[in-house]
Chains A and B, each alone.
Chain A
Amino acid sequence: MVVFKKPHALTDVPMHYCPGCTHGIIHRLVAEAIDELGIEGRTVGVASVGCSVMSYDYFNCDMVEAAHGRAPAVATGLKRSMPENIIFTYQGDGDLAAIGTAETVHAASRGENITVIFVNNAIYGMTGGQMAPTSLPGQITQTTPYGRDVTKQGYPVKVCELLSGLDGPTYLERVSVDTPQAVKKAKKAITKAFRNQVEGKGFSLVEVLSTCPTNWGLTPVESLKWCRENMIPYYPLGVYRDKGAEK
């Protein structure tokens, strides 16, 4: 009996991510959720710009690539024109919380019945490690070589906290994938975010704290530790909004 295998909703295309990058884990969790809910045939994913841009090759469902930051607007168009389909976006921190802040906030505010998977690794990976909106105070990046100085570069954007100030969102949760236990929790949250859409409940966003060993300059295992020791304290895990549970 098979107890663990690659989900059907992932293609056989080898992912281009660097060794130990947790994008791969998050991709798998999304695919597992799609498999478990039996929605692959009616799901359309929206890839964003950044490291995960080529996720259109990795998911077996129909895939659309959006311009930088515009994935929630593209997803809105898809969902409004195909309400029976399941529409998700897969976005990184630069895409979702910098260049696409307006699209994110307003899709959430409208309560669009879509699922947003937000991967926060506190850095711009694709372009080679520049400051992200979510880079931590003091964090050294290519564009903050002396560390992020909050008096000059400002503070990180806490997306779940920001969106929880809106009435629109149905479900907001921040999870991590730094341990097997955390991965299991993340899986539950992602599945819930998709199930909410299936049940017509509205806007669901799961923020997943992720790693970037290459641009953090750490080994994959050290990266998990860095995430645990630096990111999780700044970005507390947990449920920020759950309208379903509030009822």
Chain B
Amino acid sequence: MSEKVLMKGNEAIAEAAIRSGCRYYLGYPITPQTEIAAYMAKRMPKIGGTFLQAESEISAINMVYGVACSGKRCMTSSSSPGISLKCEGLSYLAACDLPSVIVNVQRGGPGLGGIQPSQSDYFQATKGSGHGDFRMIVLAPSSVQEMADLTSLAFDLADKHRMPSMILADGTIGQMMEPVELSDTMHETHYEKPWACTGTNLKREHNIINSLILKPEILEQLNIERYKKYEVVEKEEVRYEEFMMDDAEICIVAFGIASRVSKSAIVEARKQGIKVGLIRPITLWPFPSEPIKAAADKVKSFISVELSMGQLIYDVQLAEECRKPVYLCSRVGGMIVSPDYVLNKIVEVNNLGGEN
């Protein structure tokens, strides 16, 4: 069974989390994601769950760490400056292989920045979400429906691979309202968690969840093993969407709100006879390198459409191994690319004909 409702993207995340078996939400208010906290504050007490407003983002992520140690599904959400504060905790969650879901509804930065949408935490989410060698699964929704679906997926992937997963949304998708179909059966797959610290009951050796490893040879080995797990994730969990790519000569790469705008621009460009398509990464990590690499055989050029000063573009260049030029089409600071803005770029790139 499922129901179709009109919801804000942020609310869709919250409702999907609950339907995915999350009963612990620990957060701290920050625009433009506070609807998640508000929704949880309303719903959790009614379903026997816990909503807790922490004293800081740092505290919230460490409460998540605590709940995750018990093996229960838990979530926190924030927006860019708040995620910076959570980075310490993300490193510890990853180091202890603790499943958890973190939502970042991005706003313009750096610093306190603004409260309008942005995608400028791409590097942070995919490469530098704390100290040390680690990865998070990063999912990028581009509709309210995906806010729900990918949240549910984030919980499953976190449990399946024992690692934190992040929903990297932006202020637009968080704030916009769209019809969303919510399934009753979004419920969690059961995962055994023998590592959880739930008390020994005097029946087993004590479990220790810890990231302090003072012997370098052991710490190295643990890092190597964790990266083997990441290899599995890279093999199994890549998700992306292709749009009008069959005959495309220009390939746009974009995610989230930028990909939606790009689709409108692509439709317009096609009317003008320009063969342009889109590869939309749904997982930002693991990154869909293969389809982009394959596209490089066919297209003349790439355009990275993003709400940042050029972050995604590096991964595009790496994926296509710099065989074709990659152009940047971006707006920042809370400004959003318009379909015309992207269309102009498509026309401009088309006129270059694939020459640098």
Contact = CB atoms under 8 A, between A and B. Distances in A.
Interface residues of B, number: 39
Interface string B190-212: 00000001111111001111111
A76 B207 CA distance: 19
A62 B63 contact: no
Interface stretch (A66-74, A178-186, A230-238): A66-74
Contacts of A47: 210
Contacts of B26: 77
A102 interface: yes
Interface stretch (A80-88, A130-138, A202-210): A80-88
Given A77-B64, A77-B69, A81-B24, A106 B55 contact: yes
Given A40-B202, A81-B74, A73 B63 contact: yes
A41 B63 CA distance: 22
A42 B202 CA distance: 8
A171 interface: no
B25 to A, nearest CB: 11
B40 to A, nearest CB: 13
A81 B50 contact: yes
A44 B197 CA distance: 7
A62 B199 contact: yes
Interface string B69-81: 1101010000000
B199 A41 contact: yes
A75 B199 CA distance: 14
B68 to A, nearest CB: 7
B200 A106 contact: no
Given A42-B199, A63-B197, A78-B69, A57 B208 contact: yes
B59 interface: yes
A161 interface: no
B201 A41 contact: yes
Contacts of B66: 46, 64, 73-81
Interface of B: 24, 26, 50, 52, 54-56, 58-60, 62-70, 72, 74, 88-89, 92, 96, 197-203, 206-212
A223 interface: no
A78 B199 contact: no
A62 B207 CA distance: 5
B200 A62 contact: yes
A103 B59 contact: yes
Contact of B199 (A56, A61, A70, A76): A61
B197 A66 contact: no
Contacts of B70: 44, 77-78, 81-82, 85
A60 interface: yes
Contacts of B65: 66-67, 70, 73-74, 77
